[in-house]
Structure 1
Amino acid sequence: MARSIARDHDEKRAAILRGAARVFARDGFDRASMTQLARECGISKANVYHYYTSKDAILYDVLDGYLADLTDRVTGLDLGGATPEDALRRVVVEIMLAYEGADDEHRVQMSGVDLLPPDQQRVLKGYQRQIVDFVAEILAHVAPGLKSNGPKLRQATMALFGMLNWYYMWSADAGRAERVAYAELVAEMTLGGLRAL
């Protein structure tokens, strides 16, 4: 008879992923061990192996869950009726709010994707690309001249993400109000820069 899945299976798995993200962000994926992950989660190493066969499998699930949720949240915004400028403001704020409480996952994403096998990298980079393309499309509507200049559009898009992606380095404990204020600053700087092109 097949063993049934425990009622709290999903919660335990989610707790392992949160703990693993903390360990990977703090100590680095290469230096992290399954023993450390178990200790961080307050469970036995055998229990970790009950849910995951390897550290690589945990890394993939940390990143897949984080990037899938981020992609859905950002690209799923209802921007109907918004001007391109207002759409940019709303998207930048949403990105900063989505990063709140996910600094460990975000930090792991910055260095962890390339540690995985090529087929898994393709999935994760696909999420990243969807978000980047979504924002690039908005920027192209703000500054229509960028539509015909792919390299400059990419540079403008990546400059915007550069301002957002490293926020956790100096403001990890920032709350909602600080994140919104920073997002609004980044949006206005971006809009000002685009107008000057």
Structure 2
Amino acid sequence: MPRPSRRAEVRTTAARLIRERGYDAATMDLLADEVGLNKGTLYHYYPSKSAILYDLLSEQVDATLALVKQVPRTGSATDRMRALIRLQVELVATKQDELVVFFQELPWIDQHLEEEQASDLRRRIDRYERFTRQLLSTGVRAGEFREMNLNMIMYSIIGILAYVPNWFRGTARKAQESLVDELSDFVISGILRR
């Protein structure tokens, strides 16, 4: 009987190590020790540390783009924006290491990833940003949202979401629901026209 793959364990452990130590200090030797594999076996799962990082970052971008697809195509800009924020808060409330690594390492992708991988990530991130800016712009034009600097507000929302995994440790469903309600209300109240 074939042995089960430990790829998910390797990825999860790598996310924790990169979060705790940073990309440069989270070596393949350290990762191999942490998961109890020799380096040769580790390279069977991932050919390099940059391949792990690309996988971690890609997974988060794909998860976010999947959320964008769940936002209703019709309805008021306020309801659609609230849906987007709620979905994102639900995601960030359950992903600690992976999302911290995403936001911690994203500024350094040109140094740590191949050019094609960095470009691919930027293209996918741009799809999310275009969607969010367009939704904000639709709300402004409809008179639902106040006049605003769309980029500044979009990046501020991203900043709020990015920091949640650094402090939120609620595992109970009630705590997560409260977080989703409170943060969604906070963001929406900041962009609504008074």
Normalised TM-score (structure 2): 0.82
* Letter of the 2:186 counterpart: M
Q: What are the equivalent positions in structure 2 for 1:1-197 lying under 5 Å apart?
A: 8-9=4-5, 12-72=6-66, 74-113=67-106, 114=108, 115-144=112-141, 152-196=149-193
Q: For this pair of structures, how many residues does the alignment match?
A: 186
Query: Residue 102 of structure 2 aligns to a residue in which SS?
Result: helix
Give per-residue Cα distances to partners, 1:48-89, cap 9 Å, x unaligned: 0122221111111121123223322x1110504432211111
Instruction: Judge conservation of contact 1:62–1:105 (CA < 8 Å) in 2.
Output: yes
Report the CA distance shift for 1:145/1:81 in structure 2 as closer, same or farther (over 3 A). Answer: closer
Q: Measure, in 2, the Cα distance between the counterparts of 1:181 and 1:65.
A: 26
Q: Per-residue deviation at 1:24?
A: 0.7
Structure 2 residue runs without a partner (length 5+): none
Q: Tell me: CA distance 1:124–1:158, structure 2 relative to 1, closer, same or farther (3 Å).
A: same
* 2:167 aligned partner, one-letter code: W
Distance 2:170 2:122 in 1: 27
Contact 2:92 2:161 in 1 (8 A): no
Work out whether residues 92 and 184 of structure 1, in 8 Å CA contact, stay in contact via their aligned partners in 2.
Answer: no
Separation in structure 1 between the aligned mates of residue 177 and residue 82 of structure 2, nearest angstrom: 10
RMSD (CA atoms): 2.5
Q: Which amino acid aligns with 2:153?
A: A
Contact kept, 8 Å, 2:11 with 2:52, in 1: the verdict is yes
* Residue identity opposite 2:28 in structure 1: M
C-alpha distance in 2, partners of 1:79/1:191?
17
Q: Give the Å deviation of 1:47.
A: 1.1
| Structure 2 Cα separation of the partners of residues 177 and 190 of structure 1 | 20
What's the % identity of the aligned pairs?
23
Q: How far apart are the structure 1 equivalents of 2:130 and 2:169?
A: 26
Q: Deviations over 1:77-125 (max 9, x none)?
A: 0504432211111111111112233211111111323232332111112
